[in-house]
Amino acid sequence: MFCPHCGASVKDGDAFCSSCGKALSSASGGNASASGGAATGKASSKKSIGDIPTIWVVVAIVAIAAALYFLWPGDDASDADSGAVQTPTTVQQPTTSSQPATASSEPKSPLTMFVSQVDNSAYPQVTLYTKIADQAGSTPSGLDASQFTVTETDSSGSQYAATVEQVVPLAVGDAMNINLVVDQSGSMRARSKMDSAKKAASSFVDEMVKTQGNVAEITSFNDYVYNRQPFTSSAALLNSAIDAVSPTGETALYDALYWALQRTNLKSGSRVVIAFTDGEENSSNCSLNDVITLSQQTGIPVYIVGVGGDVNRSSLQSLASSCNGAYYDAASDDLAQALRQIYQSIYDDQRSMCRVVFTSTCPGSTSATRAVLLSCSDSGPFAGQISHTYVPVTSISSYDTSVSSQDYVLPGSASKYYSRSELEKMSLWELYLARNEIFARHGRGFKNQDLTDYFATKRWYTQTYTPEEFDAISSSQLNDYELKNVQTMYEIEQSRNSPYLETAE
């Protein structure tokens, strides 16, 4: 037996080593150590072998736990199924499209659209003057050409898409062309209706032309149609024309409207005819259908104001509606105020329009009627559409001999002397016409386009001389009546500062 501490030989039963003095194991311990180093070696071997299953047990437990973690439907899975917030594996980035990703699910705002008139003066570029209103009746902000589409349908049914180039509200600086048609029939004498109508017309002219830069023409009618003043921005000339109107004769309303549409068709931009009458049509060569057809061909709306109880209200309402305008009743007890309010309402209605500009791609006949469909496209927040018909190119004369108009402003100017008081009742334009009418009878030509257009419609007129040629011989061409009347008219024009004295004749 040996000491486990120093290896010295000891006797069985010794409690301490005689060499190192350290305590020896008990008998059981001695028995345990009797095998000496072999016993120690076995003990180490047993410890390593014993540790192996323990490690595998731990590994197995970890593996099972991991499997349970990933495979067992725990609380997280339940949360996912129930819509609980989790950390997303991918993030939805904002779309780069011009339309938001949710736009298709958002309701669009409905629009009410109405095409009042068509300006085809620059065809193939076409301008639709269109009322575009939201549910509150106002023009919505944020309108853009990209939100609209145009489709034209020709007479054969073929369709052609066109790009909308512009959608903009009318600005204050956009001039309107207004033809004001005044009833001067004999019935307008009653209850000073003529004075009230002239007062309202003058007030309207002052507001629309003087302060807002628009252009207007004055047309009056009884049995005949009178071009009292061609289109001008001069309030002085327009008021002169209104002052010259006096009541007499019958009511050739349709002729007057037809004439006014022809004249207004010469202008480009926003155009409108506004007429008032106190009696029933009874003297025209043109029919109601003639007026409606011409209005639709030219795209110019006609507004009509009826005064008193003698008007054919249903007929005038139908006429105005067919001409894309409106009919108004005016109280005759305060006619001036009623007309002013109506004129302003019509003007405001036209001013509320938007210009919708597109260039036609339709190769069909330009003299045939086409349908144009204006729609809000899918890219915008609005929804709505309107269809309208128009004729791309119209061949309309500025004057028409079928309209009842007098051949001469002063029929007797070659055979009688007109007094100053007689001539002072005429407008500045009429004086200008009457004076040059004397020259036209002798074949003089004119540089002023209004004069050229006017005399070209007179069957008695033939140009023989240039202005320069005639002026060199005029004194020998005119008789005494003509010379005197020319002189008197010229003096009146001078005293009234007529702008026409500065215009080449």
Q: What does residue 436 show for φ and ψ, rounded to 5 degrees?
A: -75, -20
- The domain defined by 420-502 folds into Methane Monooxygenase Hydroxylase; Chain G, domain 1 (1.20.58)
- For the chain, the straight-line distance linking the first and the last C-alpha, in angstroms and rounded, comes to 157
Q: Which of 235, 233, 282 is nearest to 256 (CA)?
A: 282
Q: How far apart are CA 196 and CA 247, in angstroms?
A: 12
Task: Go through 289-305 and write b for each residue having 16 or more CB atoms within 10 A of its CB, e for each that does not.
Answer: ebbbebbbbbbbbbbbb
Q: Which of 209, 394, 155 is nearest to 296 (CA)?
A: 394
The number of beta carbons lying within 10 Å of the beta carbon of residue 340 is 19
Distances (CA, A) of 439 to 229, 414, 418, 420: 20, 11, 17, 20
Q: Give ranges for CATH 2.60.40 in the chain.
A: 109-170+354-390
Q: Which of 461, 465, 473 is nearest to 445 (CA)?
A: 465
Q: Give ranges for CATH 1.20.58.1690 in the chain.
A: 420-502
Q: Give ranges for CATH 3.40.50.410 in the chain.
A: 176-351
Q: How buried is residue 47: exposed, middle or buried, by Cβ count under 10 Å (0-12/13-18/19+)?
A: exposed
Tens-level pLDDT at each residue, the chain (505 residues): 667 766 666 666 666 666 666 666 544 444 433 333 433 343 344 444 444 455 555 455 555 655 555 555 444 443 434 333 333 333 333 333 334 444 455 788 899 999 999 999 899 999 999 999 998 989 998 888 999 999 999 999 999 999 999 999 987 568 899 999 999 999 888 877 888 888 888 988 888 887 777 899 999 999 999 999 999 999 999 999 999 999 999 999 999 999 999 999 989 889 999 998 888 888 899 999 999 999 998 999 999 998 877 788 898 999 999 999 999 988 767 788 888 888 888 888 888 999 999 999 999 899 999 999 999 876 778 899 999 999 998 777 666 556 777 889 999 999 999 999 999 999 999 999 999 999 999 999 999 988 998 898 888 999 999 999 999 998 899 999 999 999 999 999 999 999 998 754 5
Q: Are 246 and 105 in contact (CB under 8 A)?
A: no
The domain defined by 109-170+354-390 carries CATH number 2.60.40: yes
Find all residues with CB under 8 Å of 210, minimum gap 6, and list them: 235
Q: Which of 52, 122, 198 is nearest to 393 (CA)?
A: 122
Q: How far apart are CA 245 and CA 427, in angstroms?
A: 8
Q: Are 210 and 236 in contact (CB under 8 A)?
A: no
- Please name the CATH architecture into which domain 176-351 falls: 3-Layer(aba) Sandwich (3.40)
